[in-house]
Structure 1
Amino acid sequence: MGFTLGPRAISAGYRLASFDQIGSTNSEALARANAGERGPMWFVTTEQTAGRGRRHRPWIAPRGNLAASVLETIDVAPATAATLGFAAGVALATALRNVAGSVSVPFSLKWPNDVLAGHAKLTGILLEAEAVAGRGLAVVVGMGTNVVAAPEGTPTPATSLRALGFEVTAEQLFTALSDSWAECRGIWDEGRGFGEIRRRWLALAAGLGQPVSVHTGQTTVSGIFDTIDDTGCMIVRTSTGDSVPISAGDVHFGQAASARVG
């Protein structure tokens, strides 16, 4: 079975490039953008050998997992483009629910860019962007999902759809994802619809209202995860009652956060 776009994605004008194996779907999408491709276009594989996550961490997709990147060319400020990551989280969670069938799994969204199944990481999201002459930004949203296998020894425990009891392939998940992305991308609407994306994201947010500790470089901010604001920053309410916006960092919830606070 090969990769295919869903009907909603086709109607929205998306195109597809699939690969038996590739180093990085994000790198391929950016290379195509630099060569003049403007999208919207998906780049997908079930085997990625040189993928990357946030902060240049490796993201290897062994055969059977899903590595998918979508290229969009948009005329918005970089800070607005960054909020597409929340649309990606909502789209992935929607796609996972749509292929779940009778399997009941509590999917949630961990700020800023992970999908969790229970307390384990299932999917990572990486946004990259480059300026395009006269056309704004070429934005690539990479989404890697552990379909048949999950890495071991990671800072956050990871799991796979197979380990959760899902009888689903990377190809089936991608078709669902292409449709849910087309829906969420339309809602996002160059950032004008981020309020609705934010509402949907918060409805699935992991750790909302719970103790959190966020490491931002050499600084640690601890408190309660209150919300995300209209730019996508995490708002942490500290013990002094201050509301601190966090734009990036490594997040720890629950006992890990409490231990760090102590």
Structure 2
Amino acid sequence: MARFALGAKARDAGYRLAGFDSIGSTNSEALAAAAAGDPGGIWFAALQQTAGRGRRGREWHSPHGNLAASLLVVPDASPDTIATLGFVAGVALNAGLSAILPGGMVRIGIDGADGADGRSRIALKWPNDVLADGAKLAGILLETTKTADGRQAVIIGIGVNVVAAPEGVPYPATSLQALGVARSAEDVFEALSDAWVDAFSLWNDGQGVGAVLTRWRGAAAGIGAPVAISQDGVVRRGIFETIDSSGRLIIRDDDGARHPITAGDVHFGATASARS
């Protein structure tokens, strides 16, 4: 039975929580709450999703014991700025994992040649994944909807592979259990809820986007390394230079030209040259 609890910072900040043992989709629950007029600041957390989804409508596998969590917020910010909440979630998730994982597992620092693909550490992968030893540990999904009074509500969905990673997916995946970490989904959620308070405060209705992106870059996988971006069957290759002030991935091609990328599937290191 699920025993989810908010962290002390989250409770003090006025966040609310609805916890479930199993649910169809925490994002769907949050969307329904927004439609019903909830003012935001509520988490929906579950040990299992039976109808979860990821980016571009892909299925998100979430067996019992993994964490599925969605947060409904109604920020006072422009639509373009609201899109950067994915980076806020990445910073919060990285910080939350840092708080509960063994020392040395989460390293902070821009990647160079060593560990450039995220291996041997936990790192943020553009635009919305968390890697551990180069494999996907967690993912983030943003969805938006309009409130009755015309404001934009945002649902930040976060899935963490706690006890098991999906099989038969086109990318390497891992779990905390596979990494030898004996922490529960409830542990991860409590740490995440507190880390979110700090990251969201830093974002400050979009006024602190620059500070959030700086923190995100500091925990990023692949900066300075070869990267391949697949967009609708077309692959662009180059060096991952940075993410810009809007959160776009900037790659430099062999001719030295820099290209901003707003969406696509990202592959680092050896896979950057091997995948098409």
What percentage of residue pairs aligned between the two structures are identical? 55
> Normalised by the size of structure 2, how large is the TM-score?
0.91
Summarize the alignment of residues 103-182 of structure 1 with structure 2, pairs less than 5 Å apart.
104=105, 106-134=121-149, 136-182=151-197
Aligned partner letter, 1:92: L
Give the SS at the match of 1:50: coil
How far apart in 2 are the matches of 1:67 and 1:57? 15
Return 5+ residue gaps in structure 1 as ranges: none
1:154-204 CA deviation, whole Å, 9 max, x = no partner?
Answer: 121100001101110001111000000011011011111111111111111
Return 5+ residue gaps in structure 2 as ranges: 107-120
Shift in CA distance, 217/119, structure 1 to aligned 2, threshold 3 Å = same
Q: Indicate the residue corresponding to 1:43 in structure 2.
A: 44
Structure 1 segments, 4+ long, off by >3 Å, are none
Q: Which deviates the most, 53-62 or 96-105?
A: 96-105
Q: CA deviation at 1:110?
A: 0.4
Number of residue-to-residue matches in the alignment:
261
How far apart in 1 are the matches of 2:262 and 2:65? 33
| Contact in 1 for aligned 2:37/2:148 (Cα 8 Å) | no
How far apart in 2 are the matches of 1:217 and 1:8? 42
| Contact in 2 for aligned 1:25/1:68 (Cα 8 Å) | yes
- Relative to its length, the structure with more strand (as a share) is 1
2:244 aligned with 1:224, yes or no? Answer: no
Aligned partner letter, 1:58: E
Aligned partner letter, 2:29: E
How far apart in 1 are the matches of 2:270 and 2:124? 18
> Normalised by the size of structure 1, how large is the TM-score?
0.96
Give the SS at the match of 2:105: coil
Give the SS at the match of 2:40: coil
| Contact in 2 for aligned 1:129/1:138 (Cα 8 Å) | yes
| Contact in 2 for aligned 1:103/1:165 (Cα 8 Å) | no
Give the SS at the match of 2:138: strand
Q: CA deviation at 1:112?
A: 0.2
Q: Indicate the residue corresponding to 1:54 in structure 2.
A: 55
Shift in CA distance, 101/76, structure 1 to aligned 2, threshold 3 Å = same
How far apart in 2 are the matches of 1:118 and 1:189? 32
Aligned partner letter, 1:198: L
CA RMSD in angstroms comes to 1.4
How far apart in 2 are the matches of 1:73 and 1:100? 31
